[in-house]
Amino acid sequence: MAMPAPRAPLKPLSEALSQLLETVQPIAMTERVATLEADGRVLAQDVVSELHVPPQDNSSMDGYALRTLDVTAPGVEMAVSQRIPAGSSGTPLQAQTVARIFTGAPIPAGADAVVMQEDCESVAADAGDVARVKVNVLPKAGQWIRRAGEDVASGAVVLSHGKRLGPAELGLAASIGMDRLSVVKRPRVALFSTGDELVMPGTVAPAAMPAGAIYNSNRFFLNSLLRRLGCEVTDLGIVPDKLEATIEAMRDAATAHDLILTSGGVSVGEEDHIKPAVQSLGTLDLMQIAIKPGKPFAHGKIGSAHFIGLPGNPVSSFVTFLLLVRPFLLRLQGVADVSPAGAEMRADFDWLRADKRQEFMRVRRNAQGGLDLFPNQSSGVLTSAVWGDGLVDNPGGQTIQKGDAVRFYSFAELLA
């Protein structure tokens, strides 16, 4: 009797991710979109400024522009020779006078400082006299002046290609007059689930659920995760646990998508048809990754389309997406640095059951600056991802005691 082939050793997460990213050829197609509509998109070319920001020296305070050589001691009185609001231009400043100036207004020629209005005092003038102020401080040259080009110099690259755009980046692009930006085309992703046990919410009432049936939660959070990463999603619903149906779904999806993403069916059971379906149409690498939750992970190609198969348990699918699919999709859009930054934080819990796999535990920051652990770390308990606000990355074979420093990745970063 033939002995079964020995199982391949579990693959470290870092090796699996590196192998996955090596297969990525960033999307070459680009489009120009309105800057107002570019949130979350990835720049396809550098953004270069054609002007200084600010365009000229201007006041950072409401106050009075003056020549410091005219103020030899606090209490000097001078006439107000002009008024310069933002959006207007002044005239050269006369000696022994000040210009009433407002935040953002250009500094008049000859002035080398601004004194804020709180440090000046209006002086009553006789009928027919010009307004006068008393300067109650000794100003320093350059104070309260924002220099031309202080923020952005003309000719500078302010945003580099491959940068993922957020609110600050859009504001910066607008500040140099960019009303449209060249961005990478959105990845086209076909999403479907496998499993005859899956039921869509709304089709069967909870009280009428058949034995063994479950609502398809994975479809909802995967759809949301994909859209947050800028993808165009084609939701193909639930594919029956039949080889022919799975092959047909794969073949159709491969013709018009950059990625086919499935949930469930990447194990080795008799009802798991993903493996033979992909192999019949293209290539497949079925990995066993040394992570918990997770472990089964599939990647392959059908024509020019990538295929990724996630495990079916909801937390396994959720965490594996964040660890592997998120960086894959960012790299597909041309982002170079796809690793989350993370932070070192204090564990306010004990974890004494070390696993040989690298563990990603759902935790929540507390008011004391530490991390609390969700009590049930099962791969089927999706409430842990709702209760928590991030993951602790615990290396394989390592226990955690209260007070230990651990690596924390926030959902705010991973879901952005």
State yes or no: pLDDT of 270 exceeds 50.
Answer: no
Q: What is the mean pLDDT of residues 378-405?
A: 97
pLDDT tens figures, 97-142: 999 999 999 999 999 999 999 999 998 766 556 689 999 999 999 9
**SS3 for 156?**
coil
The Cα–Cα gap between 296 and 316 comes to 9
What per-residue confidence (pLDDT) applies to 26? 96
What per-residue confidence (pLDDT) applies to 5? 52
The Cα–Cα gap between 14 and 16 comes to 6
The Cα–Cα gap between 80 and 61 comes to 17
Backbone angles phi, psi at 100, to 5 degrees: -65, 125
Question: Beta strands 132-135 and 198-199: pairing type?
Answer: unpaired
Contact call for residues 31 and 182 (beta carbons, < 8 A): yes
The Cα–Cα gap between 250 and 391 comes to 33
Topology of domain 13-27+186-332 in CATH is Molybdenum Cofactor Biosythetic Enzyme; Chain A (3.40.980)
Domain borders along the chain are: 13-27+186-332, 30-53+150-184, 58-146, 343-414
- The token duo for 264 is 């469930």
Topology of domain 58-146 in CATH is Molybdopterin biosynthesis moeA protein; domain 3 (2.170.190)
What per-residue confidence (pLDDT) applies to 408? 98
CATH architecture designation of domain 30-53+150-184: Alpha-Beta Complex (3.90)
What per-residue confidence (pLDDT) applies to 155? 96
DSSP bridge partners of 392: 361, 408
**Domain spanning 343-414: which superfamily?**
MoeA, C-terminal, domain IV (2.40.340.10)
- The token duo for 319 is 């965490």
- The token duo for 336 is 């170079």
Backbone angles phi, psi at 346, to 5 degrees: -95, 130
Do 30-53+150-184 and 58-146 have matching folds?
Answer: no
The Cα–Cα gap between 249 and 302 comes to 12
The Cα–Cα gap between 153 and 48 comes to 10
- The token duo for 28 is 């070459």
Contact call for residues 212 and 197 (beta carbons, < 8 A): yes
The H or E element spanning position 355 is none
The residues near 229 (Cβ < 8 Å, ≥ 6 apart) are 40, 187, 326, 329, 330
Residue 7 pLDDT class (50, 70, 90 cuts) = low
- The token duo for 354 is 């070390």
What per-residue confidence (pLDDT) applies to 410? 98
Rg (CA), the chain: 31
Selection from 118, 120, 109 nearest residue 57 by Cα: 109
pLDDT tens figures, 19-39: 999 999 999 999 999 999 999
Residue 1 pLDDT class (50, 70, 90 cuts) = very low
The Cα–Cα gap between 102 and 65 comes to 9
The Cα–Cα gap between 360 and 391 comes to 6
The amino acid that residue 44 corresponds to is A
**Percentage of the chain modeled with pLDDT above 70:** 95
pLDDT tens figures, 358-380: 999 999 999 999 999 999 999 99
DSSP string, 372-409: EEPS---TT-THHHHH-SEEEEE-TT--B-TT-EEEEE
